[in-house]
Structure formats: structure tokens, C-alpha cells
Amino acid sequence: MSERIAVEAAAPYEVVVGSGVIGELTDVVGTDVRRVAVIHSVAVRERALGVRSVLGRDQLEVHLVEVPDGERAKSADVLEYCWRVLGESGFTRSDVVVGLGGGSTTDLAGFVAATWLRGVRFVNLPTTVLGMVDAAVGGKTGINTASGKNLVGAFHEPAAVLCDLDVLQTLPRPELRSGLAEVVKCGFIADANILELIENAGAQSVLDPTSPILAELVTKGIAVKARTVAEDLKETGGAEGGIGREALNYGHTLGHAIEREEAYGIRHGEAISVGMVFVAELAHRHDLIDADLLQRHRDVLASLSLPTTWAGAFSPLLAAMRMDKKTRGDQLRFVVLEDLGVPRILAGPEEQVLRDCFAALAGGLR
């Protein structure tokens, strides 16, 4: 069985979630295509060969473009390499890019598609929980620079996203756990049923890649993302002055700074987990949420063995946060909660308050 989630954006498409949905790839690619470039990470090399077999009909050229694992793929050098392969292969506007891998790979593949010939079609085949719930859906594409994460990119919606849950059975447990941080995020900003499902089911069921609980959590997380981006594709603000797509950055301002400080040696979900506890502490100190909701952040994340503290120094993180995409001029802006499922922007908090929040988070380190 599969579930189809419509993303009603400017160019509507479907996210298909279920077992064996990779079989739909040929139909999604279409019949008027001559070349397909499958941009894939090293970790899914064998799966890329399987994708080539699925697409292996007569007269269709399938080019496998292997890129580094993780955030190392999101660089200008790797982007240029992908462009070179497309150029040497004679890639035209009627051809298709497929992104196969985790969130970093789909970010890169989408940006390759957005920039080649000013935009060609692409399809995402995410192979991680993080990729399925977050990166592969919504049309945000991009690469990193020395100044920060995702500072260069474009909005370019996929033609389809196929989330084949079978691939999660081969996913390392730390990667599975990391991706669930984005699911938890969706619970706090939009769908409290996600939190209740995790709390009631327990970590053993949630972290079982064959569990219907995990399948339900992934589907619910995707549904939150789909609704949010349909309302506010380009992050310009939601209906009636609401926060819109910026809500999806809950925990990401500090989280991205930690990733950069760790030279991307920490998993994205782990950094975002710490970032969510930080902004919960920030909201509590501004009397927006109560102590129970603050503690619920720690409890839900800790139940999945996700980190809720970080022992590094704060000053480098503060400098990195000033490069965050939500910053306006010199004013830092954070996505916080004013109640469960009610996100808002907190602009310009005092630096000492930020340091105090971090001290509480990091056990007294500044």
C-alpha cells in the first residue's frame, strides 16, 4: 500500500510514500525523455544501479553521477562536476535529473536541475528519513559555502518525490534517529499527534524500520511539510500575516551554526535537536511557553536518544547565526513557539539572554 500526498504549490506534484514505490519511477520520468542523470551519493551506489535497471528501457540513456556522502556533496566543486557531466552527455531541456540519496544529495540534485539550462525537470528518491520528511519535499535546493549552510540556492520544485520505505531497512540506526528530529520538529510546530504517537509507542517501535509506527510518522511529517510549502513556497510569509514556511526552520538557526562549527561532522538531525531545545529555552525565558512544554522538548528528543545539549563555545555560534537566512540586517530572528503548534518569529533577543539560554542548554559552558 502507498499513500499519495499532494503538494499544491505553483507547480503541483505528488509525494508517494510506501513500500516498493520506486516502481513508479518510469511513469514519473515520462516517455518524451532521452537522458536521465541519476545524481547519487557513494553510500547508495548499489541502489543507483537498481534505479538504472528500472529506467533501462530502449533508447533511454541513464548516466550515474556519483557524489560524496553528506554535506561534502554540497560544494561549488561538486556542482561544477555535475554540470560538466550534463554538458558532456548532451543534456537538454527535455531530459530529467533524479536525486537519489539523503537530504544533501537531493539538495544538490535539485540545484543542478534548477541551474542547468535555467531549469530542467527533476525527481527525488530520498533514501533517509531526513530526506523524505524534509529535504526532498518543498523545492528548496542549494549548496553550502565557507560562510554558512544553504546560502546559495534556488526554489525549484520536483516533478515528483518517491519515498520508498523499503530503503529504511538498510539505513544505519544513527541516521534513522537523526532523521526523526525533523519529524519531532513537525510535531512541535504543527501536529501534536506526532508527539503523542512517539510518546505512546516508545522508541523501540519508532526506531524499527519495518514498523507501521515509523511509516505513519514519516507520512505525517511529509504532510506537515506539504501543507506548509503549499501556503508559502518562497518563504515570503503565510496567509493573514502568519509565519508561513519559516516555521520549518524551528531549531535550525542554532542547529546550522553547530553544524558549521563541527565542520559538518555532526548529523543534521542531531544539531537540530539541540537547536530545538535552545529555542524552547528562549521562548520560555520570554514567557511564551511554560516549563512543561520546555521539558517536553527534552523528554521527547531524549527518548529517541537525540542530543539535547552541546558542549562547545557560544561565541562562534553567535557569529555563525548572524549569517542565517532569517537574519535581517544586524537583527537575529528565531522561530519559537508561543504554544504547541503555534510558531512565531522572535526578533532581536538580547545577546545576554541568548548566552543564558545556551548556558542552560550546555550545562554552564559559554
Query: What's the CA gap between 113 and 156, in Å, rounded?
Result: 8
Helix or strand run (H / E) with residue 17: strand 13-18
Q: Which of 235, 259, 261, 281 is catalytic?
A: 235
- Region for residue 83 given its phi and psi (left: phi exceeds 0; alpha: psi -120 to 50; beta: otherwise): alpha
To the query of whether residue 268 is one of the catalytic residues in this protein, the response is yes
CB distance 267 to 128 below 8 Å: no
Beta-bridge mates of residue 346:
334
Q: Which of 40, 144, 249, 333 is catalytic?
A: 249
To the query of whether residue 256 is one of the catalytic residues in this protein, the response is yes
What would the grid cell of residue 38 be? 541519476
Q: Which of 80, 88, 118, 240 is catalytic?
A: 118
To the query of whether residue 366 is one of the catalytic residues in this protein, the response is no
Q: Which of 252, 260, 297, 333 is catalytic?
A: 252
To the query of whether residue 328 is one of the catalytic residues in this protein, the response is no
Q: How many CB atoms within 10 Å of residue 174?
A: 12
Query: What's the CA gap between 91 and 97, in Å, rounded?
Result: 10
Q: Which residues are annotated as a binding site?
A: 69-74, 127-128, 140, 149, 182, 252, 268
To the query of whether residue 156 is one of the catalytic residues in this protein, the response is no
What would the grid cell of residue 332 be? 537575529
- Calculated CA dihedral for residues 299, 352, 275, 104, nearest 10 degrees: -170
Q: Which of 220, 268, 284, 298 is catalytic?
A: 268
Q: Which of 35, 245, 260, 297 is catalytic?
A: 245
To the query of whether residue 24 is one of the catalytic residues in this protein, the response is no
Q: Which of 24, 182, 261, 281 is catalytic?
A: 182
DSSP string computed for 278-290: HHHHHHHHTTSS-
Q: Which residues are annotated as a binding site for Zn(2+)?
A: 182, 252, 268
To the query of whether residue 140 is one of the catalytic residues in this protein, the response is yes
- Region for residue 329 given its phi and psi (left: phi exceeds 0; alpha: psi -120 to 50; beta: otherwise): left
Q: How far apart are the first and last CA of the chain?
A: 50
Q: Which residues are annotated as a binding site for NAD(+)?
A: 69-74, 127-128, 140, 149
CB distance 86 to 116 below 8 Å: yes
CB distance 352 to 360 below 8 Å: no
Q: Which of 121, 177, 220, 225 is catalytic?
A: 225
To the query of whether residue 35 is one of the catalytic residues in this protein, the response is no
Q: Which of 121, 256, 284, 298 is catalytic?
A: 256
To the query of whether residue 252 is one of the catalytic residues in this protein, the response is yes
Collapse the DSSP code of 62 into the 3-class scheme (helix H, G, I; strand E, B; otherwise coil) and give the result: strand
Active site residues: 118, 140, 182, 225, 235, 245, 249, 252, 256, 268
